[in-house]
Amino acid sequence: MKFNTVIIGGGLAGLTAGISLQMAGKSTAIISEGQNALHFFSGSLESMEEAPQRVVDLFAQAGISLHYNPGYRLMPMGTFKKSTLSLEDISLFPETKIGNKALIVSFSGYHDFFCGFLQEGLEKQGVQCRVQLLSLPELEHLEKSPSEMRSVQIARTMDLVWENVVREIRILLRDEDTVILPQVFGLKDTSVLSRIRQGIPAQVVFTGTLPPSVPGIRTQMLLKRRYELLGGTYLMGDQATGAHIHDGSIHSIVTHNLGNHFMEAENFILASGSFFSKGLRSNPFEISEPVFGLDVEQADDRSDWYNPEFMREQPYMKYGVTTDASLHAIKGGEPIKNLFAIGSILGETRPELGTGGGLAIRSALEVADQILKQTAE
Amino acid sequence: MNNNEFDVIIIGGGITGAGTQRDCAMRGLRTLLIERSDIATGATGRNHGLLHSGARYAVNDPESAEECIKENMILRRIASHCVDETDGLFITLPEDDLAYQQTFVDACRKAGISAEIIDPELAKRLEPSVNPELTGAVRVPDGSVDPFRLCAANMLDAKLHGGQVRLHTTVTGFIREGDTIKGVHTRNLITGEERDFYAPVTVNAGGIWGHDIAALAGVNIGMFPAKGALLVFAHRVNNMVINRCRKPSNADILVPGDTVCIIGTTSTRIPFDECDNVSVTPDEVTLLITEGAKMTPSLSSTRILRAYAGVRPLVSADNDPSGRNISRGIVCLDHEERDGLKGFITITGGKLMTYRLMAEIATDAVCRKLAVQKACETADIPLPGSEEGSYEAVAQKIWEKPSTAQKAAAARMGSRASRIRTRDRLDEALICECEEVSVGEVKNAIERLDASTLTDLRRRTRIGMGTCQGEFCACRAAGLLAKAHGCIDKERDDLKEFLQERWKGNFPIGWGDTLREAEYTQWVYKHVLGL
C-alpha cells in the first residue's frame, strides 16, 4: 500500500490535513483509533483570532458553516467565555449578556445539562430565568434505562421529533426574549438548527452538555465524509504500532490490523493527539511518544509535571513532541525528513500556532502546504 | 427539658465517636454528636479498610491481637453489610525468613486466631494474584470493611435511638464551672450559627485532633501523629487480603475492597500542624509500588486511582521516632481521676477494628458517672442495614429482579436500600456510572444521611470513588445538591472543592491512564463546561 501521505490520527488536525491534500490531488490515508478530542468539542475553535477564508471554505465544503463574530458565548455552568470562530450551534454575544428574560428548557430525567447553574449565572447578570423540563413520550424508552439519558442518545431521537419540541416551547413561552436549549439537536441534519430558530419567536441559544458533544460528533462525521468523498482512505479502528526508518526518513509504518502489509508513503503526518488520545504516553519516569519514539519536551522531575491546584494551568498539558521550524518531528536530536507533527501532540511547544482547535488547523494547513510545495519543486 | 441539654456530648464524627454515640443512645442516654467536618474524615476514612484478624499484632502486641479477633467476629455479625469476608494470607517470600512462620502461627493460636499453614501451591490457587515465588503461606480470618458505611450505620442507629448529630460544627470552647465541664460552645461552619449545648459528661473522641480538644479543655494528652500513606488501585486485583509474614513493616498489606484494592502503609511522625493537610510524597509512592509488587507482581502494571494518607491517633509512650513500637492499644482517660477535671472523658488510641470495644469502654465510663446501670448491647444487635444477610438476598427481596445497579445499592445500604425503591423511574437514572449510584440513592443520602457537600456524598454513596474520579458524576450530583439546598452559588464552589480534592489524590500518581483521565477532566470542566 503506497500513498503520497499517511496521517496518523483522525481528529480535527488529521482530517484538516487529509482534506487539504486530497483537494490538491494527493493520495492519502488516515489511521484512526476511533474517538478523538472532537467528541468533547465545545463548538468554538480555540485561539482563532482571525478567520481565514480558507478555513471557512474548507469547513463549508464539508457542510459545516462556521461563523466569525468575536464576542462571548454562554457556557454550561452559567459563565461566559470569549470566543470567535464557532459552529453555527454557538450564539456569540457582543457582551456577557444574552437578553432580559430567558426560558431554560431541558428534559426530565436528563442530568447532563445544568439548568440550575445556568439560571444562577444568568440571574447574576440580571436576566430573569424560568426553567421548564419537558417530558416527551418519545424519550420514554431512554428514561427506562438508567444510563441512556445522555446527549447523543437524546440527539438521535431529536433528529426525528425536534418539531414536537418546538411546538411545546411555543406553548410554554410567555414573554421571554431568549430560549436556552441543550446542544442535542441537528446530529445528522444541521438545517434543523436554523429551523428551530425560525420556529421559536425568541432568540434560541444552544448551550453545551456533558460529553459526548453533539456538535463535535457531527463535525467529525461531516469532515470524515468530506475526506472520503475526496477519495481519502480512512482506516477506522486501526492503530499505528511502529515504523521503519532508513537514513533519517520514514519508509513505512506498521499498523495493528494490517500486520505485515506496511503502509508506505513519501510523507507521514503524526496527528495522534495528546495524553487523552494516547499520542503521548506517560509512566512514572518519563513522557514518551509511542509510535516513533520522538523527542518530547518535558520536565525531568515528575513533581514538576503538575500544579497541585486543579483549576490552574497544568505544566504537563504544555509538553509535546519537539519539531524544527517547518514542523518536522525530531528524534534523538535530529529532524526526520518526511515526518511532520501537528495538532495537540505539539502541546504548547509552538505557542505561535495557538492551542486547541486553532493549533490543530494552523499546523495542519502549514504542513499540507509544505508537502504540496515540495511536490511542486 | 431544653433542646440544648443532653446526657452526653460526644466530640468527633469518626468511627469512635459514632460508635460511642450508638452505645450511649442504646443505653437510653440523650446524646449529641458534634463533628467539625463530615463523618469519617480523619483516620476512620483514611486506612486500608482491613477487617483485621489480629494476626498482624499476634507476635508483638498479643493484647491488641485478642481484641481484634473478638471484634472481627462481632463485626461479621452486627455489620454484615459493611464487611466482606475474604479471608487473608500471610505469605513468606524468598527474601523473608521462613522460620518466622512458626513463631507467627503459635502467637496467632495463643491469641485465639485460627491460623492455618497451607501449601504455597494451594495459596496460588486460592489467590492467583499472589507472587508465585512465595515459599510459605498462612491462612487467617482477615477481611475487608467499609469504614464510611460502618460509621454512617452507627450514626444512623444512634439517631434511630433519639440521638442528635451536628456535622460541620466546631467546638469553640468548653463551658466550665469550677472543676467541672458543663457543656460546649459551638459554631456551625456552614451557617455561622453559634450555639451552646449542655451535658453532665462530654466525651472527646477526636482522634488525633483529640489532642487539641483536650488542650481546649485545659488538659494535656501526649499524642503522637503518625502519617500512613496508601494507594488505591483501579481493579480488585486480589480477592483475599495479602500480608507479608514477617515483622510488621511498610507497604505489606494489600486489601481488596469493593471494586478496588488498597496497598499500605507507611509510618512517619509528622508535626501536629500538618494533620489537617497530609500529602503523599513521590518517595512514598515509589515505596508502596515497589513493596506491593513483591507480594502481587501485577500491581506494577495496574492503574493506580489515587494516593492518600491518614494520621494514626497514637498515644506516645516513649521517643520512638517511627511510631511502630507504640501499642495500638485503647486509651480511655477519665480526666476527673487523671487531671481533676470533672465531666470529661477522652477515648483514643485503638484502631478501626476495635471501635466498638472502645465505644463500650467509653460508654461504661459515661454510665458510671451518670449512675446508669444498663448493659452494653452493641455486640449483639445488628446495625441498620445488616439485619437481613447477604446483599443479593436483600436486593431480591426489594426488587424481585434486581439490576446490577440495584444490587450495588443493596451492597452499600443493606436492607436500608428499600428506602430508595420508588415508583418514579426517573430516580433509577444513574448519576455515577463507575459505581452505579442512582438518583434515588443520592437523594436518600441528601435527605436522610446529612450529606451537604459532594465530598459528604462520596463518603455515603461512593460517588466519585470509581475509575473516572468524579469526572461525570460530580456535576450531575452537584445539580441534585443545588436543587435540594436551593443554593447554587455555594454548589459551584463545592464542585470546585470536590475536583480539587480528587486532584490532590491523583497528581502524586499522575501518569498513564490516570493522567489521561485527569487531562480529560481538566478539559471538560475548564473548556467545555466553563466552571
User: Do you find a cis peptide bond into B265, omega within 30 degrees of 0?
Assistant: yes
Task: Specify whether the CB–CB gap between B361 and B378 falls below 8 A.
Answer: no
pLDDT band at B320 (very low <50, low <70, confident <90, very high): very low
Q: Indicate the residue of B430, B475, B531 with minimum beta-carbon distance to A147.
A: B430
- Cβ of A77 within 8 Å of Cβ of B480? The answer is no
The mean pLDDT of B485-513, rounded to a whole number, is 91
B81 Cβ neighbours under 8 A, 6+ residues apart? B149, B153, B383, B385, B386, B391, B394, B411, B412, B413, B414, B415
**pLDDT on residue A377:** 66
**pLDDT tens figures, B215-269:** 999 999 888 899 999 999 999 999 999 999 999 899 999 999 988 999 999 999 9
When CB atoms are compared, the residue of A109, A208, A276 closest to B520 is A276
Nearest C-alpha in A relative to B506:
A308
Tens digits of residue pLDDT in B454-467: 999 999 898 888 88
- CB pair distance less than 8 Å for B515 and A275: yes
CA dist., res. B386 & res. B384, Å (int) = 6
pLDDT for B327 equals 54
pLDDT of B319 over the 70 cut: no
Q: Pick from A108, A117, A309, A359 the residue to mutate for testing the B interface (most B CBs within 10 Å).
A: A117
Tell me how close the Cα of A197 comes to any Cα of chain B, in angstroms. 23
Tell me which DSSP letter residue A44 carries: B
Mean pLDDT, residues B394-412 taken together:
83
CA–CA dist A376, A363 (Å, integer): 20
Per-residue pLDDT, A375: 72
Domain boundaries, chain B: 8-43+148-222+328-370, 84-143+224-312, 422-528
Residue of B nearest to A207 (CA): B529
For range B342-371, the mean pLDDT: 96
Q: Which residues of B touch A12 (CB under 8 A)?
A: none
What phi and psi, each to the nearest 5 degrees, are found at residue B22? -60, -45
Phi-psi region of B193 (alpha: psi -120 to 50; beta: other; left: phi over 0): beta
Same CATH fold, B84-143+224-312 and B8-43+148-222+328-370?
A: no
At B328 the pLDDT is 58
Average pLDDT over residues B383-395: 84
* pLDDT at B467 (0 to 100): 82
Would you state the pLDDT for residue B430? 87
Q: Is the pLDDT of residue B421 over 80?
A: no
Instruction: Please indicate whether, in this complex, the C-beta atoms of A146 and B522 are within 8 angstroms of each other.
Output: no
> What is the phi/psi pair of residue A133, to 5°?
-105, 130
The alpha helices in chain A, defined as continuous H runs, are 12-23, 53-61, 115-124, 140-143, 151-172, 191-199, 214-229, 356-376
Count of CB pairs separated by less than 8 Å, A with B: 132
Mean pLDDT for each consecutive 10-residue tract of chain A (377 residues)? Answer: 95 98 97 92 86 90 93 94 93 92 94 92 94 92 80 95 96 96 95 96 96 96 97 96 94 94 96 96 95 97 94 95 97 97 97 93 96 83
> Torsion-angle region of residue A346: left (phi > 0), alpha (psi -120 to 50) or beta?
alpha
Contact B504, A308 (CB under 8 A): yes
CB atoms within 10 A of CB B308: 21
Give the per-residue pLDDT at A224: 97
Among the partner-chain residues A46, A210, A284, the one whose CB lies closest to the CB of B511 is: A284
Minimum-distance CB partner of A111 among B479, B502, B530: B479
- Say yes or no for a CB contact (<8 Å) between A210 and B515: no
State the fold for domain B84-143+224-312: D-Amino Acid Oxidase; Chain A, domain 2 (3.30.9)
- DSSP class of B167: -
Contacts of B488 in chain A (CB under 8 A): 116-117, 119-120
| Rounded Cα–Cα distance for residues B431 and B473 (Å) | 5
Query: Taking a C-beta distance cutoff of 8 angstroms, is the pair B426, A143 a contact?
Result: yes
Q: From B489, which residue of chain A is nearest by alpha-carbon distance?
A: A120
Which residue in A143, A211, A302 is closest to B425 by CB distance?
A: A143
pLDDT at B318 over 50: no
B507, B450, B503, B510: which is closest to B474 by C-alpha? Answer: B503
Pick from B89-93, B265-269, B445-449 the range whose average pLDDT is largest.
B89-93
Domains and CATH numbers, chain A: 2-41+218-376 (3.50.50.60), 66-210 (no CATH)
**With contact defined as beta carbons under 8 Å apart, do B183 and B10 qualify?**
no
Gap from B526 CA to chain A (nearest CA, Å): 8
Q: Tell me the β-bridge partners of B224.
A: B314
- Report the C-alpha gap between B394 and B400 in whole angstroms: 10
Verify whether the Cβ–Cβ distance B528 to A40 is below 8 Å: yes
CA distance B375 to chain A (A): 47
Least Cα separation, residue B288 to chain A (angstroms): 13
Do residues A94 and A70 make contact, with C-beta atoms less than 8 angstroms apart?
no
User: What number is the average pLDDT over the span B391-418?
Assistant: 83
Choose among B285, B405, B519: nearest Cβ to A274: B519
Dump pLDDT digits (tens) for A182-194.
999 999 999 999 9
pTM of the shown model: 0.90
Substitution target in A110, A111, A113 with the highest count of B β-carbons within 10 Å is: A111
- Give the right CATH number for B8-43+148-222+328-370 from 3.40.50.2300, 3.20.20.70, 3.30.590.20, 3.50.50.60: 3.50.50.60
CB contact under 8 A, A114 and B475: yes
Q: Above 80 in pLDDT, residue B336?
A: yes
pLDDT reported for residue A1 = 78
pLDDT (average), residues B486-494 = 87
Give chain B's mean pLDDT: 92
Do B512 and A120 count as a contact with CB atoms less than 8 A apart? no
How far apart CA B16 and CA B358 sit, in angstroms, is 7
Q: Which of A76, A109, A208 is the closest to B426 by Cβ?
A: A109
CB contact under 8 A, B425 and A302: no
Quote the CA–CA distance of B121 and A249 in Å, as a whole number. 53
Q: How far is B323 from chain A (nearest CA, A)?
A: 28
Tell me how far apart the alpha carbons of residues B225 and B43 are, in angstroms, rounded to a whole number. Answer: 11
